[in-house]
Chain A
Amino acid sequence: MTLTRRIVFGRNPRRTLVRVLVLAVISFVTFGWVLIPVRAEGISMQPTFASGSLHFVSRVAYRYRRPFRGDVIAIKLAGPHVLYVKRIIALPGERIAFIKGQVFVNGAALAEPYVRDRRLWDVPEVQLTAREYFVVGDNRGMRASDHDFGRVDVSRIIGKLLF
């Protein structure tokens, strides 16, 4: 009994309680406001992210810098509990088009090493505003009509996927 109590509560139960409380507060803040755990569902980001895989979104990644091309970001819908996860392929102010599956940004072909399989998507050129990014999933083997992609307002971006 004494040994069990010592294992559970430690040598100094009061200090153990303080440690538990501090750990709980740190976890609450970290996983509530700094790193949000998300589970991928669906195939639109394959092969980079498999459906069912667990990832973390950094909500502070864009506090001191703007999103870069190539960043995989989390986009909120009505709130933060269901998110789109997409890759940024064009930045505010740029022009973007898909011609037979190849992405062109400001008229130049974009190298996308993360794309394995491409269908021949055609999307007419779009001019992004100063607040818009163009996002798309890595799985271009899907039909374009089955894939959610397009312009997103900067206010909807809640963070960057870390891993």
Chain B
Amino acid sequence: MVWRGREGDDERAVGARIEALRNDINTSTSDGLGAVAHATQIGSYFTENMVIELGEGTSPIHGRDTLIGIAARLQTRTAAFRLELDDVSVEMVPGGRAADVLLTASFVRRVASTGEESRDAREFSLVCEKDAGTWRIARVTAIDTLR
């Protein structure tokens, strides 16, 4: 809409990028070459020096190449999950080159024995950066809602 400024457009762009990442994660493949291509596609949503911190008890993931390797290896396991994102809020950092994102990610898995879905929800904080006109995720930090 005309009255919305540039910041509003950027917020929408960041939100759309995160939604696209969710769609790509949920579009799974398990054959060898397809898995590598899929992992590379997921990696393209992140900056080269990205960091993922999943909290206590896990080592942080440093760098896009490491993430692509992990994503390719875990393809068969992650294919069993569906990712849902809720309550995504985007706040631009002054200057417009970065954005802080807060969201709830749910990993939904269907239990084969009962047919019921099990959901593991966690809150994440993301830092996104604009790189050559494209928004990419530079940092993902899991937030401990219960400590």
Contact = CB atoms under 8 A, between A and B. Distances in A.
Contacts of B119: 41-42
Nearest to B101: A78
Contacts, number: 54
Nearest to A41: B119
Interface string B112-145: 0000111101111000000000000000000011
Chain B binding surface, main DSSP class = strand
Sorted from nearest, which 8 A-B pairs have the closest CB atoms? A79-B87, A150-B146, A77-B123, A78-B87, A78-B104, A77-B104, A81-B86, A82-B104
Given A41-B119, A42-B119, A77-B104, A150 B147 contact: yes
A51 B147 contact: no
Contacts of B123: 77-78
A1 B123 CA distance: 55
A149 B144 CA distance: 10
Given A80-B87, A82-B104, A156 B145 contact: yes
A77 B118 contact: no
A84 B89 contact: no
Contact of A81 (B104, B116, B118, B124): B104
A52 interface: yes
A152 interface: yes
A86 B146 CA distance: 10
17 contacts: A41-B119, A42-B119, A52-B116, A77-B104, A77-B121, A77-B122, A77-B145, A79-B87, A81-B87, A82-B87, A82-B104, A84-B146, A135-B146, A148-B146, A151-B147, A152-B146, A152-B147
Contacts of A41: 117-119
B102 interface: yes
Given A52-B116, A78-B88, A152-B145, 8 more contacts: A41-B119, A51-B116, A78-B104, A78-B123, A81-B86, A82-B104, A148-B145, A151-B147
B86 A82 contact: yes
Interface in A125-163: 135, 148-152, 156
Contacts of B104: 77-79, 81-82
Given A41-B119, A42-B118, A42-B119, A78 B103 contact: yes
A75 interface: yes
A127 B88 CA distance: 33
